Structure 1
């Protein structure tokens, strides 16, 4: 029961988690250069251990926040340094396979967490924990009854299997959840994030100035996105975000096109840095966090574990595929790469318009009604 409470808390703070994870991914680069790969792994591990200890011994909401901040930073750092370390130590003929195994283990871990988190029955401990989180003077009886009703409803439903996700009644929810993960990852974000310094160098712009500006902008915009998500709504935010990503890709593509054909060479660096900053700013305000939030809201409760695992698997596979193919695409055509990403993100806009319902402020029943109408 306590696990369910923490899951509910986690869903409400998904945007903040994505914000902190992105900070870890950005700042671990200089740490890696300073301490080395193993040193950076130790730093990442320390943050994760500290975060889980804070969560495990939590007695107040603020300690859960601290735990999630530490875990988010540690996992963001891991997301950068682990693939780098694997790529550097692996034989070239096994590099792709070993990187894929890393993604597979991440997916296995997520699946195991769903299985473990299904344990329940500790009602007294649950009520004590809820009272501590809400404050000793808060009346938690109504909230506790709602959570208890949720668990009892879930118990009465048939246990879902992976193949159940392909039943017609679940198809639209699964398509939305998985489709949003495809839109998020196949639009180029991991390639741009991991190789942003190289992009600036190839465009003729200072990589140090560009990277610093990039990092600062991402911090500010992601924070804004997390703050306005519950006010602006999921769907408008992701549509604005995806539109900005398309614009950023096109600006960057024009920059590389001009450079390749030696046209307006003085304008190409400015166009490139503008395009990349528009891209990352737009992605950070919506596409980074909103798909995770929507995914947590659209699945019926009896398939949420299985469907969540599938969507997460697709997300990590997309992350790996994007980062793995980015250099090959840039070697093929620098401007063609960003035109391809622009096209994918344009399709993402169409997908969101046609398929994704607004979930802000709606109950599970209302969301399911909107999906299945």
Structure 2
């Protein structure tokens, strides 16, 4: 009875505190902290575009087959699983900001190392291990950090900033890659254009090398920004550093109600040891808590709808639709513009409409777009490629090609405005304070593992039947509708200390 009364009291207090709007200066500092953490999204987009540039050059220099090249590109995603799994739990010991700093250093070292691998596939894989771990750690810790420093009424928008920065990274680095390729002289013989040498800053390096050095420059920006922001106040209170935590809360919430917030956070942690994977188990110790399973489901579904198959292999998909190689790259940039429009829309709505309604709209829209694309692909004329595999030929059917492009843009818009950012919003906020580090590790690891599975299987599935592959992704989108309706809680405008209700 006393536990229930205490929980109800905390819930009422949280509601009152959530209604207290922080002053403008405090909200500005919260935005600055969110921007620093969101540079991890910029790094993801930057690195992904560098990988797009290096694929042909890597095959040319190492003599590796397409299978090994595909694995090498995906290997960074696999190592991100390890980085994500370690980040949340380790952040309970050394701090959220410390994970950001370590990740930034790894970005700088690994990207610089990748630029000078010569013709060694082994060295490429070694550096992809470290850059992938940095990516997994940085991308996973950002939602937790932002959630723990942001006011409740703008938390969804601020966590979504990371997805916005990811898309900006893709767009900016895509333009940068195009500019370098356009400026470089044509390489000799049949060498790919990405191996052309470009003279900058007194160095004559190949275009793909400059792409990775630009990633290292981004890592330096991330490092500086991470060193300038405060530590999470909830981590500080969990470690007994209440005075420091109070200072951070004053900066991000203002003087009003800070003492009450400190007390509420302390009570939410009282009697429980923070973190530890054992804390994720239910009371009987035989299964994970329901809210942890919800996080795992969200993380898996976000990737299994197939977005990263398009993300990593956009040029290949557009070529299949019937565009030439140069036009396909331009269409990839068009998709990036669609993503920017979508994420801005989602950021404006997430704290007004709520998380669940946007997820449902996204799932329904993705399902419709994927079904439309599958029908186009399956009914199009099939032509045999050099290896004898059949693929849809839309070059001679402008109507089908246009319909496929519209459906693809609708799918990308729906994902980028809903499931892309909102899954991470929920992962960062819906776990109780005492579980957040460990639960975020598990959910982040599942997200990256699902990412790897899609990245690795898409070429095989597409070679089998790209139309049927879209049918499989449509089935996952349909499944996500039922999952949201039955399991996903609404967390709009709730304080993090109210999330205990979901684990009980």
- Is residue 171–residue 333 contact of structure 2 (8 Å, CA) maintained in 1? no
Q: 1:20 aligns with which of 162, 165, 179?
A: 165
Q: Aligned runs of 1:267-346 on 2, under 5 Å?
A: 267-346=399-478
1:166 CA displacement:
3.4
- Is residue 186–residue 318 contact of structure 1 (8 Å, CA) maintained in 2? yes
Structure-2 separation of matches of 1:130 and 1:54: 19
Task: Tell me whether 1:47 sits opposite 2:218 in the alignment.
Answer: yes
Deviations 1:307-326, CA, capped at 9 Å, x for gaps: 11000000111111111111
Q: Aligned runs of 1:1-373 on 2, under 5 Å?
A: 8-9=148-149, 13-32=158-177, 34=180, 36-58=207-229, 120-133=239-252, 138=254, 140-151=255-266, 153-167=268-282, 171-205=289-323, 206-261=327-382, 265-364=397-496, 367-369=499-501, 372=504
Give the TM-score of the pair, scaled to structure 2.
Answer: 0.56
- Is residue 18–residue 289 contact of structure 1 (8 Å, CA) maintained in 2? yes
Name the structure where helix makes up a greater proportion of residues.
1
Q: Secondary structure at the match of 1:359?
A: coil
- Is residue 357–residue 367 contact of structure 1 (8 Å, CA) maintained in 2? no
Structure-2 separation of matches of 1:148 and 1:366: 14
Worse-matched range after superposition: 179-188 or 36-45: 36-45
Deviations 1:249-304, CA, capped at 9 Å, x for gaps: 11221221122457993322112111110110000110001111112222222221
Q: Secondary structure at the match of 2:257?
A: helix
Structure-2 separation of matches of 1:314 and 1:370: 21
1:128 CA displacement:
3.9
Structure-1 separation of matches of 2:419 and 2:472: 17
**Number of matched pairs:** 315
Which residue in the other structure is 2:41 paired with?
none
User: Residues 272 and 155 (structure 1 numbering): CA distance in 2 closer, same or farther, change over 3 Å?
Assistant: same
Structure-1 separation of matches of 2:96 and 2:313: 41
User: Residues 121 and 5 (structure 1 numbering): CA distance in 2 closer, same or farther, change over 3 Å?
Assistant: farther
User: Residues 117 and 363 (structure 1 numbering): CA distance in 2 closer, same or farther, change over 3 Å?
Assistant: closer
Give the TM-score of the pair, scaled to structure 1.
Answer: 0.74
Structure-2 separation of matches of 1:365 and 1:150: 6
Unaligned stretches of 5+ residues in structure 2:
1-94, 98-143, 181-205, 383-392
User: Residues 132 and 306 (structure 1 numbering): CA distance in 2 closer, same or farther, change over 3 Å?
Assistant: closer
Q: Secondary structure at the match of 1:231?
A: coil
Structure-2 separation of matches of 1:117 and 1:371: 23
Unaligned stretches of 5+ residues in structure 1:
65-112
Q: CA RMSD in A?
A: 3.2
Structure-1 separation of matches of 2:237 and 2:210: 35
